[in-house]
Chain A
Amino acid sequence: GDSVTQMEGPVTLSEEAFLTINCTYTATGYPSLFWYVQYPGEGLQLLLKATKADDKGSNKGFEATYRKETTSFHLEKGSVQVSDSAVYFCALQKAAGNKLTFGGGTRVLVKP
């Protein structure tokens, strides 16, 4: 079946450091890929998405590129802030309106 694997956390960084969270997937066909973020005490929010190969999703300084050849969708941010402390989930979706398959989540803690 479909699956998403992302690096385990927690990831602890200093403010202004570079952040990378690796995500790889296994799926048939051409899924859409997502990064969701869950801030402490809040629900999941869509951070960015890419719906086809080589698409780059970006939002709030975060970027991820859909790499079909490596089945990856790594999340990056060049300079993190304390407010970026959250749990980040990589996910795939086979078709619009369908369920999401999530990775295990990566907790990121940014220290001042």
Chain B
Amino acid sequence: GAVVSQHPSWVICKSGTSVKIECRSLDFQATTMFWYRQFPKQSLMLMATSNEGSKATYEQGVEKDKFLINHASLTLSTLTVTSAHPEDSSFYICSAPGTGDHEQYFGPGTRLTVT
């Protein structure tokens, strides 16, 4: 099946710094990718939809200037958490629709800890 990778799998950064998370579709092209955030023992909340070659679509309440999304190619989307704060600590997950009917493939997630 299709594979989506994320890098890094975990990252620790200091408050005020920026962190970039990559999401790659390894064996298929994805014009759209989704970025989710998952708090401990909670569900996934959609943050934004990443669109190749155009601006991302952010969900209500998500700061677009803080969570920068760039979908530079058909296999890569990046999420940059700018000026990170401890409350940004979370598990960030990306997904991409496959070519099959309703299939969607998830990355393994990136755990961000801001100290």
Q: Which residues of A contact B (CB under 8 A)?
A: 32, 34, 36, 42-46, 49, 51, 89, 93, 96-105, 107
Contact = CB atoms under 8 A, between A and B. Distances in A.
B interface SS class: strand
Nearest to A32: B102
Interface residues of B, number: 20
B97 A43 contact: no
| 9 nearest A-B residue pairs (beta carbon) | A43-B108, A97-B97, A44-B106, A104-B43, A102-B43, A102-B44, A43-B106, A96-B102, A105-B43
Given A43-B93, A44-B93, A51 B43 contact: no
B102 A93 contact: yes
A107 B34 CA distance: 24
A45 B42 CA distance: 17
A46 B101 contact: no
| Residue of B34, B41, B42, B43 with highest tally of chain A CB at under 10 A | B43
23 contacts: A32-B102, A43-B106, A43-B109, A44-B44, A44-B93, A44-B106, A45-B106, A46-B104, A51-B101, A93-B104, A96-B101, A97-B32, A99-B49, A100-B46, A100-B95, A100-B104, A101-B46, A102-B43, A102-B44, A102-B45, A103-B43, A104-B42, A105-B41
A107 B43 CA distance: 11
B46 A99 contact: yes
Contacts of B46: 99-101
B87 interface: no
B42 A105 contact: yes
A99 B34 contact: yes
B65 interface: no
A107 B42 CA distance: 10
A107 B40 CA distance: 12
Given A43-B106, A46-B104, 18 more contacts: A32-B102, A42-B108, A43-B93, A43-B107, A43-B109, A44-B106, A49-B102, A51-B102, A93-B102, A93-B104, A97-B32, A97-B97, A99-B34, A99-B49, A100-B34, A100-B46, A100-B95, A105-B42
Given A102-B44, A103-B43, A96 B106 contact: no
